[in-house]
Amino acid sequence: MTAWQELGRSMLHGNGRPPAASAASGAPAPGAGPGALPGTARPDPWPGSWQPLGARCRIAPDGGSGTNFALWAAGAEAVDLCLFDEDGTETRHRLTEQTFQIWHGYLPGVGPGTRYGYRVQGRWDPWTGARWNPAKLLVDPYARAIDGHYTSHDAVCSAVRNWPEPEVADTVRDNRDSAAYVPRSVVVHDDDDWYDDQRPKTPWAETVLYELHVRGFTMRHPGVPADLRGTYAGLAHPAAIEHLTRLGVTAVELLPVHHHVSEDHLQARGLTNYWGYNTLGFFAPHAGYSASGSRGGQVGEFKRMVRALHAAGIEVILDVVYNHTAEAGAMGPALSLRGIDNGGYYRLDRNRRGYADYTGCGNTLDTRQPHVVRLVTDSLRYWVTEMGVDGFRFDLAAALARGSDGVEMHHPFLAAVSQDPVLSRVKLIAEPWDVGPGGYQVGGFPPLWAEWNDKYRDTVRDFWRGTRSDVRELGYRLSGSSDLYQRGGRRPHASVNFVTAHDGFTLRDLVSYNRKHNEANGEHNRDGTDDNRAWNHGAEGETDDPAVLALRHRQLRNLLTTLLLSTGVPMLTSGDEMGRTQHGNNNAYCQDNENGWLDWSLLDDPRWQELTALVGRLVRLRRAHPVLRQRAFFSGRETVPGGQRDLAWFTPRGRQMTEADWFAPTAVLGMLLSGSAMAERDEHGRALHDDSFLLLLNAGAEPVAFTLPGAPWAAGYRTLVDTADATDGQRHPAGAAVTLGGRSCRLLQVTEEAEAGPGPDPDHGRDTPSGA
């Protein structure tokens, strides 16, 4: 019997501890057991308190200072708190107190900046989900700062990765110490002083989201000092904020800023997880985005960033990943939760040995468990109350609502959030799907929740590339997607409308490529979706053909105009307003380089300057006119007898559409929003009135003559936006036929007097409501 076989037999049939093995045997570690791990044992800590969880600096009964440590580890047999000196020397303290399955202790003299971790002892019985292994140094799930890097190495796995019998490798415990390859938790000074912060508290109906990556947004910004680029301080710099205020966006939606690490397969290819959807610490700002170091400085820097954005009137929304962690599947690293209580934190499969994977990342947090719900809600409250953020976008939110029989909208997690006095008052956005059966839940989340509306994305993309035979679904998407969100008392702001996001083509690439080009990711172009609904307009990628370029730029204007004039909450993707390209890569999650960073030199090109200016103008127009950002769904009926409908649809002949028209093949649609028939009231209960607008869209290749509706809708019109480059400010009498260019859209404002024809427009560009 070989040493490997002997070790395996011991692991499979013995007490879970490997016997001694010779150095020549290749066994995972000398079998001295956990007691032989490096480190110096110290006297037990004082009892301390079981709450709050994590490490908190406190004043001791004798008046001295120290830190209280508390860790939930229900099935553990022993917990060692491990402190690390500046030279990396480890000192272990046994936590002997346990209250409500929480191990706790107080260490006098331990203060901010101290690095620590845990080693947790318990049964090794993978067949029942028990995977305790004290050889693995673990990050505190409640750590508010994390220092150091995760280095891919076999020793970080609880089981033996290179076991000669792969089918049972996950059952063989690896006793090698992982401390050299994993990060440390850091004690952070308590600082909850937000007296000088003014939250914008932007109403949902007035919100314009701007999705950005902290590092990618500032890495190439010429106005940000070089030492601040790629950091929270860089995003807080006036040069970065100026662009956001010039656009007029009301909130930034930050790609994950929870501390994250890169997967083993990326490290093997010399790449990193740039996007950050691989969380290790739910309370810790990612140290890699800090210009202030990783020993707690990242916490204060993040808070200062939030304050700076708030001072500019911009809310901060975090893209959060609670559906899975960086520990992956059974042969992934043991970095935190797996080693603390594997079966208590993760959803295990029916035989308890493997994992239920509804995320595509190897594991799924089990939010059916009260302590997991507590972990997630404690984290969310921390980011609101102590870090100052204004809301969250939940990655794969359906996984958080999975019960025993699929996705449940009365799930304990959703119930906990809905009744929480802090969380129920912030913005909550669901990515309403996961990768499991029945996971697609667009339109299914309860009130309080908004959702990424991918049906909006797909419909608008299909319309402008000319693949839809009629405009039935487009009508729903332009008017707030009432078919998805009206039931259950939800409002139009439940629909977060987007055409692009971080995941997929940039807007420029959407009109420049027919297929993905992800070769740089090192996965043979297999990664990333093939359902892009893109159109290169005659040439794949970059081209000098003036006709192709002209059409592409027109389509960019069409897509952005449609997005910003649709009812619901628009979300722009960083750089789309200035022509950012990833050169056809639709899954740039590992491209922490110039391919993934925003190229600010694009703004030196007049063409991209014009596109940026158009976005800013449309955002200002939206802000100025309540009719363009309705708080309630349209009724399509007269608000007063004999009056106008609040929403009307028109054919190119200038008549209202009939049911037959909705089913007839067409690429042309007119939508009139009546500002005089709004059902909304102001804060004093008075009827709210606004100007009226007519939006015309033509996805066909040929120009169309569109007859402008007459009485009772309008006496005249003036053109505010024409993506076919016609002169803005043109005036038109009602009943006149205007030429709507091929593949173009036009926004017209209703005027109270008949117009004689084109002429100067002294008020053009004011974008103010009537009577303002």
Query: pLDDT tens-digit profile of 324-344?
Result: 999 999 999 999 999 999 999
CA distances from 750 to 436, 617, 717, 732, 738 (A): 49, 18, 5, 10, 14
> Is residue 395 annotated as part of the catalytic site, yes or no?
yes
pLDDT value at residue 727: 62
Q: What is the DSSP letter of 126?
A: G
pLDDT value at residue 684: 80
Q: What is the DSSP letter of 484?
A: H
CA distances from 605 to 436, 509, 582, 611, 725 (A): 45, 17, 18, 10, 18
The residue written with tokens 């057991």 in the block is 33
Q: Rounded CA gap, 668 and 650, in Å? A: 9
Q: What are phi and psi of 372, to 5 degrees?
A: -75, -40
pLDDT value at residue 517: 98
Q: Rounded CA gap, 627 and 693, in Å? A: 8
Contact 236, 312 (CB under 8 A): no
Exposed e or buried b per residue across 163-191, where buried means at least 16 C-beta atoms within 10 angstroms of its C-beta: beeeeebbbbbbbbbbbebbbbbbbbeee
- 162's CB contacts (< 8 A; 6+ apart) are 154, 169
User: Do the bridges between strand 427-430 and strand 391-394 make them parallel or antiparallel, or are there none, so unpaired?
Assistant: parallel
Contact 587, 518 (CB under 8 A): yes
pLDDT value at residue 42: 60
Other C-beta atoms closer than 10 Å to the C-beta of 406 total 13
CA distances from 764 to 112, 589, 617, 633 (A): 58, 43, 11, 29
**Which of these, 566, 558, 746, 570, lies nearest to 670 by C-alpha position?**
746
**Which of these, 212, 155, 210, 209, lies nearest to 181 by C-alpha position?**
155
Q: Rounded CA gap, 359 and 609, in Å? A: 40
Q: Rounded CA gap, 572 and 651, in Å? A: 30
- 23's CB contacts (< 8 A; 6+ apart) are 30
Contact 457, 529 (CB under 8 A): no
Q: What are phi and psi of 364, to 5 degrees?
A: -140, 130
Exposed e or buried b per residue across 554-577, where buried means at least 16 C-beta atoms within 10 angstroms of its C-beta: bbbbbbbbbbbbbbbbbbbbbbbb
Q: What are phi and psi of 166, to 5 degrees?
A: -55, -30
The token pair at 504 is: 């997929």
Contact 528, 586 (CB under 8 A): yes
Q: State the DSSP H helix or E strand holding residue 429, giving kind and residue range, or none if neither.
A: strand 427-430
- 419's CB contacts (< 8 A; 6+ apart) are none
Q: Rounded CA gap, 262 and 149, in Å? A: 9
CA distances from 726 to 104, 720, 762 (A): 71, 10, 17
Helix (H, G, I), strand (E, B) or coil at 214: helix
The residue written with tokens 């040995």 in the block is 353
Helix (H, G, I), strand (E, B) or coil at 717: strand
The residue written with tokens 């570690």 in the block is 29
Q: Rounded CA gap, 400 and 373, in Å? A: 9
Q: Rounded CA gap, 346 and 343, in Å? A: 6
- Collect the ranges in the chain with pLDDT lower than 50: 1-38, 758-772
**Which of these, 758, 768, 769, lies nearest to 729 by C-alpha position?**
758
Helices 454-464/546-565 angle, 10° precision: 140
Q: Rounded CA gap, 215 and 369, in Å? A: 35
Q: What is the DSSP letter of 591?
A: -
- Where do runs of H (alpha helix) occur along 204-254? 214-218, 232-236, 238-247
pLDDT value at residue 583: 98
Residue among 264, 390, 431, 755 flagged as catalytic: 431
Residue among 395, 646, 661, 691 flagged as catalytic: 395
